[in-house]
């Protein structure tokens, strides 16, 4: 009776080794495939973000990264909800997501880069009744802010 058991145990242990190797290969292959897919999606996302930032720079002559910093410096998030800006959840002014897709700015200006730059720099020159304050934003700063807004 012992002989069949020992024979069976040897066969089972030999068989157990093979599937484990196959499972390891399948696992590694699946893992590598998953990493390649995730890497591809990440690359596509980053490439799309780069293209959006380049387009915003070409439209405005500004730097979206500096614009993001200036939006925080000037406290724009106290009045506006602004994507990707920490604590920018204001409810006084309109949310600034999708600015580049809007037809009008401030309800009256055609959405063109020069109009957005003028609005950011001197909102009361465009609309004396606006609640948006004159913050002393320079033209280069307004270009940077507009560049960031066009990335949203």
Residue 17, pLDDT score: 53
Give the model confidence (pLDDT) of 83-114 as tens digits. Answer: 999 999 999 999 999 999 999 999 889 999 99
Residue 76, pLDDT score: 98
Q: What are the C-alpha distances in Å from 49 to residues 6, 68, 113?
A: 64, 14, 19
Q: Is the separation of the CB atoms in 96 and 80 below 8 Å?
A: yes
Q: Tell me if residue 75 falls in helix, strand or coil.
A: coil
Give the model confidence (pLDDT) of 5-16 as tens digits. Answer: 544 545 554 555
Dist CA 25 CA 76 (whole Å) = 54
Q: Tell me if residue 78 falls in helix, strand or coil.
A: helix
Q: Tell me if residue 13 falls in helix, strand or coil.
A: helix
Q: Which helix (H) or strand (E) holds 15?
A: helix 2-60
The pLDDT mean for the chain works out to 85
Residue 45, pLDDT score: 64
Residue 65's closest CA among 56, 75, 74?
Answer: 56
pTM score of the predicted model = 0.71
Residue 32, pLDDT score: 77
CATH, range 1-152? 1.10.760.10
Write down the domain spans for the chain. Answer: 1-152
Residue 98, pLDDT score: 95
Residue 151, pLDDT score: 96
Band (pLDDT 50/70/90 cuts) for residue 24 is confident
Give the model confidence (pLDDT) of 27-82 as tens digits. Answer: 777 777 777 777 776 766 666 678 888 999 999 999 999 999 999 999 999 999 99
Q: Is the separation of the CB atoms in 81 and 90 below 8 Å?
A: yes
């Amino acid at each position: 009776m012992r002989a069949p058991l020992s024979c069976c145990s040897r066969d089972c242990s030999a068989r157990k080794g093979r599937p484990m190797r196959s499972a390891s290969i399948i696992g590694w292959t699946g893992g590598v495939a998953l990493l390649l897919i995730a890497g591809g999606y990440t690359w596509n996302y980053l490439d799309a973000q780069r293209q959006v930032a380049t387009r915003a720079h070409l439209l405005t002559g500004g730097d979206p990264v500096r614009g993001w910093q200036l939006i925080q410096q000037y406290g724009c998030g106290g009045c506006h909800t602004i994507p990707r800006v920490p604590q920018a959840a204001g409810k006084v002014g309109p949310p600034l997501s999708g600015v580049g897709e809007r037809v009008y700015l401030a309800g009256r200006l055609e959405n063109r880069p020069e109009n957005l730059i003028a609005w950011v720099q001197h909102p009361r020159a465009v609309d004396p009744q606006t609640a948006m304050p004159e913050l002393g934003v320079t033209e280069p700063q307004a270009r940077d802010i507009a560049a960031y807004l066009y990335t949203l």
